[in-house]
Amino acid sequence: MALEAPEQRDSNVRVFDDSMLGIAAVSAPEVTRKLSEITLGPFNALPSDERLILSETFAVWLDHNGSISEAAAALFCHPNTVRNRLRRIEEHTGRSLTAPRELAELCLAFEIAKRTAS
């Protein structure tokens, strides 16, 4: 698994943290890649710059425990911008951020996408 993990920027070092999502994201590459494809579906068809903005917004929102206002402050944008971006993630994935199981699926799918991106 270590050899298959993506390298950190400009480094040959692979990093494994104590994140359950991180561990799950790299444990069975064929299965996890398929899970990410199924969960993110049409989201992956978006232009790369839009995917990047939406993915970053999702990650920052998670890092701030689902707080729209804290995520907006961290992203230097208006809270309505964060709400709009999160709504677009829901629209493009068909998953709700308020349904715990669907949110868990999105968390894992984005973690897989982040760790398998080349």
All domains in the chain, ordered by first residue: 24-117 (1.10.10.2840)
Judge contact between 93 and 40, C-beta under 8 A. yes
Full-model pTM: 0.76
Q: Which two tokens stand for residue 51?
A: 């995917």
Q: Can you tell me the distance from the alpha carbon of 103 to that of 15, in angstroms, rounded to the nearest whole number? A: 25
pLDDT tens-place string over residues 23-72: 555 566 666 777 888 889 889 899 999 999 999 999 999 999 999 999 99
